[in-house]
Amino acid sequence: MSEKFHSELDLLKQDTLQMVRFARDMLRDSMNALIAEDYSNALQIASRKKEIRELTISLEDRAYQLIALYQPMAKDMRVIVCILKMIAAAERIGRYGKDIANMTKHLRDQPECAEPLPLPHMAALVTAMIDDVTTSFEKENLALIKDFSSRDNDVDALWHSIFRQSLTFMMENPKTITRSTYYIMAARYLERSGDHACKMAEYVHYAITGERIEIK
């Protein structure tokens, strides 16, 4: 294939990774804002959704162009497929970030829960997973995503734990129902983001080796 195609493909890959990091930032910043109950920041974070929507459209267009014009083969084709899947996953993660940010204002003046939930820990895990899958695609290094299965299990375990704890808080103190429900939803979004990171990892693996795996 031609030089022009490969340089455009590289550029698209870089831009896609940048988009994924942008989505990760939305997720991380929104979780921080939620926990710190930082309302003004949260508003700003939510407004980034417009940008991520635009990125989705423009990056996808570029991917379609490359396919239509250059009929890529083999690894080039797998890379573009991975890029398309990553764009979709990143958009979802970004929207979760927006949803989490929007939740922040509803926590105003709500009574506290009995104990702090391990939400920051869960957010850190998921953010790390997104980071690693991005770097793995960038450097084509499969080692970074080798243990995603167990990491995802950890995230799932945290999600179940937060769920049960919240239920307990709600039963103990009905005044905390609003706050707890929102926390449950945030945790759910985090868990889903983790799943999306796993999906991305499956496609990165496919792009690099051609093999389809399933990360449970």
Task: Pick from 68, 74, 143, 216 the residue near other proteins by CB under 8 A.
Answer: 68
Q: b vs e for 77-111, b when ≥16 Cβ sit within 10 Å of the residue's Cβ?
A: ebbbbbbbbbbebbbbbbbbbbebbbbbeebeeee
Q: Please report whether residue 143 would count as binding other proteins according to CB under 8 A.
A: no
For the chain, first and last CA: distance in Å?
A: 36
Q: Of 73 and 143, which has the nearer Cβ to other proteins?
A: 73
Q: Please report whether residue 70 would count as binding other proteins according to CB under 8 A.
A: yes
Residues in Cβ contact with 124 at an 8 Å cutoff, skipping those fewer than 6 apart: none
Q: Of 1 and 171, which has the nearer Cβ to other proteins?
A: 1
Q: Please report whether residue 3 would count as binding other proteins according to CB under 8 A.
A: yes
Binding mask 17-56 for other proteins (x = CB under 8 A): ----------------------------------------
Residue written as tokens 């939930």?
Answer: 117
Tell me how far apart the alpha carbons of residues 9 and 3 are, in angstroms, rounded to a whole number: 10
Candidate ranges 68-76, 101-109, 131-139, 201-209; the one touching other proteins (CB under 8 A): 68-76
Task: Pick from 57, 69, 124, 128 the residue near other proteins by CB under 8 A.
Answer: 69
Closest CA to 84 of 134, 130, 16: 16
